[in-house]
Amino acid sequence: MRIEQKSMSPRAWAELGLLALIWGGSFLSNAFALREVGPVTIVAFRIAGAALVLWAYVLWRGFAVPRGPRIWLDFAIMGLFNNVLPFTFITWGQQHVPSGLAAILNGSTAIFGVLFAAIIFADEKLTGRKATGVALGFAGMAAVIGPEALGGLDLTSLGQLALVCAAVCYGVSGTWARARLSGLTPQVAAMGMLTCSSVMIVPFALWTEGMPGTGALAAAPSLFYLAVFATAAAYLLYYRVLTIAGTGNLLLVTLLVAPIAVLLGALVLGEALGWRAGMGFALLAAGLAVIDGRLLRLLRV
């Protein structure tokens, strides 16, 4: 994860905040959808719906669609680790973990991204500053999960571990994207990834959970939000912010998503997270701030 920092204009801040709000709302939408349909069905609707939206966008913009089998294999691997596995881990985990806590654990994504990039790429070495940030991030995850998880794997503990696995998958996918997909138009890469993800998740959802019943109609607003806003529109907004603000500033999204999800969970679902969750998020935020480096430079001034 090469951190490139640019100045943040008011418009960039506004779009970054909008992206964080969209992704923060995805945890609330998952919680509502889970009341009506199974977790794998939710993921199938989310991925397939987003793929259709992005296909329409790519064709409308006239982007060239890749045709070689190797690039589609790269899309498939990216889709597995960036969509199929993490979306499924998150949605399954939210059956047993409050939405705010799920967002906090998902905040460790950037920590794993830095760690895997340091292992794979020669120009992403784990400096002392980055190592400190990663250590703080892992301390945050340990604080959130708590020592009692070591005493026995109940459904709550498994749900928390599933969310950590989702963050690991995102870290792997970020490394894969840099290694294999960096030369593609981002919107085309997202479309190809989601297309391959759909081919994987839709048959799996039908096999494990069957055809969606009437519950899918009740969950339609949540499923629509997840597919159109939290996935398709979020990818397009993500790459727009990336262009104008740089990858370093996009780390701020990780810090913004969790408190938004916690606030929505408290206001809408009545979730109450304990002091340990707050301590864990503080440690994760500190780790990301250390990796980002700007706060340290300000403190030296």
Q: Tens-of-pLDDT digits for all 301 residues of the chain?
A: 455 555 567 887 888 889 999 999 999 999 999 999 999 999 999 999 999 999 999 999 999 999 999 999 999 999 999 999 999 999 999 999 999 999 999 888 888 888 888 888 887 788 888 888 888 888 888 888 776 655 556 778 889 999 999 999 998 998 888 888 878 888 999 999 999 999 999 999 999 999 999 999 999 999 999 999 999 999 999 888 777 766 556 667 877 889 999 999 999 999 888 888 889 899 888 887 887 776 566 556 4
Residue 3 counted as domain residue: no
Residue 1 counted as domain residue: no
* C-alpha closest to that of 210 among 37, 81, 17: 37
Residue 96 counted as domain residue: yes
Q: What is the domain extent for residue 224? A: 10-300
Question: What is the tally of structural domains in the chain?
Answer: 1
Q: Which two tokens stand for residue 107?
A: 């905040």
Residue 4 counted as domain residue: no
pLDDT at 7: 58
What are the residues whose beta carbons fall under 8 Å from the beta carbon of 32, sequence distance 6 or more? 219, 221, 222
Residue 77 counted as domain residue: yes
pLDDT at 1: 47
Return mean pLDDT, the chain.
87
What are the residues whose beta carbons fall under 8 Å from the beta carbon of 37, sequence distance 6 or more? 45, 209, 212, 213, 215, 216, 219, 223
pLDDT at 120: 84
pTM above 0.85, yes or no: yes
The tens digit of pLDDT for each residue in 95-152 reads 999 999 999 998 888 888 888 888 888 877 888 888 888 888 888 888 887 766 555 5
pLDDT at 155: 79
Residue 55 counted as domain residue: yes
d(CA 271, CA 59): 42
Residue 181 counted as domain residue: yes
pLDDT at 79: 96
Q: Are 106 and 257 in contact (CB under 8 A)?
A: yes
Residue 248 counted as domain residue: yes
pLDDT at 138: 86
Tell me which amino acid residue 247 is. T
pLDDT at 144: 83
